[in-house]
Amino acid sequence: MENERTEIDSIGEFGLIERIKNNFANSLQEYTVKGIGDDAAAFQPNKEDEIIVSSSDMLLEGIHFDLTYVPLKHLGYKAVVVNISDIAAMNGKAKQIMVNIGLSNRFSVEAVDEIYKGIQLACKYYNVDLVGGDTTSSPSGLVLSVSILGSVAKDKITYRDTAKPGDVICVSGDLGAAYLGLQVLKREKEVFMVNKDMLPQLDEKSYLVERQLKPEARVDIIEELDKAAVVPTSMIDISDGLASELLHICKMSDVGANIFEDKLPMDRMALETATDDLNISPLVCMLNGGEDYELLFTIAQDDFPKIENNLKIIPIGYIQDKSLGVKLISRANQSIDIQAQGWKHF
Ligand code: ADP
Ligand code: MG
């Protein structure tokens, strides 16, 4: 398999699309009327009281990913997951995706197969249909763009701009591990560049590397909130780090917030790697590290008892009046301004 290389030119664009179509043909779920193969995909309108939500994400080689340490299959998987996470952050359920891909002649048919294996794995796991896309050539790098459609009941859709003073701020899991995973992968790449015989020592960092290469969307949290009959008052997914996402919610909702350093969740391995190994502040990893794809949401105080015993949902602070600012209360009980210091690609 490693040695096999079929040039895309030998099967052509239509041959490639046919190949993709054959792998996804039987996966049509509810509401998808027509998938790949016509001029456009077709959907049955959803129920009267449902809202369609849609999002899109574009990944460029050299800017959003580096193929020296990102396997193509993982890239395909992640490209789908980050979109599902966006739909989850609207309190919605993902239904269909479209995949646009730009390929240079560096990429073989087998390479495209690997990307689509990852896409297919994500489609199966999250029960979404691949219903179309576009295929073009690209001068050098790989471009992978995924668009997604989902739906959510009218009375459950959750925006960023509706948090209220007194609401409890919650996160769905540990923070900073994906960023640390990236630092570990970058370090291994440097070692490898110097000595190509060195095999990567990633075993003990497996959780961190997995958080970076194979993130999951927290659809389980959306289901559990639904079962508990809780609609968050606001929600966002954590792609750029907790600080940046909390500031988005506060700015858009016109409120302030207090979060507590000693409540912020970090995995033990992440903590050890940050302090003993990479010499980075764990707090900075949690606040400004990117790509955890956990959900950050606010819950009305009256609803809080309904999810209080859910161990996956971690309360980290509360929303307050705008005039009180957006603050981190440190372990030493100091109140520190939270700064936007995101994960900027520019
Ligand atoms: P058109 O010329 O009308 O844009 P295409 O030949 O580009 O049609 O696409 C034919 C069908 O294949 C369409 O249903 C399109 O959505 C689908 N398709 C094209 N490229 C991809 C891709 N990379 N992944 C999934 N579906 C694709
Ligand atoms: Mg086209």
Are residue 202 and residue 332 in the same domain, yes or no? yes
**In the sheet where 234-237 sits, what is the strand order?**
234-237, 295-299, 168-171, 314-320, 256-260, 326-329, 335-337
CA of 146 to the centre of ligand 2 (A): 14
CA 19 / ligand 2 centre spacing (Å): 15
Q: pLDDT tens-digit profile of 206-215?
A: 999 999 999 9
What range defines the domain where residue 56 resides? 8-153
Ligand 1, atom 7: nearest CA belongs to which residue? 134
Q: What percent of the chain has pLDDT over 70?
A: 94
**How large is the greatest C-alpha to C-alpha distance in the chain, in angstroms?**
66
Selection from 9, 42, 22, 342 nearest residue 179 by Cα: 342
Residue 260's DSSP bridge partners are 329
Number of neighbours of residue 108 by Cβ within 10 angstroms: 16
How many structural domains compose the chain?
Answer: 2
Residue 132 alpha carbon, nearest atom of ligand 1? 16
Shortest-distance atom of ligand 1 to CA 38: 14
Determine if ligand 1 sits within 6 Å of the CB of residue 132.
Answer: yes
Q: Do 47 and 193 have their domain in common?
A: no
* Atom 16 of ligand 1, residue of closest alpha carbon: 132
pLDDT in tens, 286-308: 999 989 999 999 999 999 999 99
Same domain, 148 and 172: no
- Rounded Cα distance, 331 and 124, in Å: 43
User: Ligand 1: which residue has its CA nearest to atom 19?
Assistant: 134
Q: Which residue has the CA at smallest separation from atom 11 of ligand 1?
A: 37
Average pLDDT over residues 134-148: 95
CATH code of the domain in which 71 resides: 3.30.1330.10
Looking only at the bridges linking them, the beta strands covering 93-103 and 129-137 are: parallel
| Single-letter residue type at 166 | G
Question: Do 90 and 229 share a domain, yes or no?
Answer: no
Q: Is the CB of 23 under 6 A from ligand 1?
A: no
Q: In this structure, are residues 71 and 213 in contact, taking their beta carbons and an 8 Å threshold?
A: yes
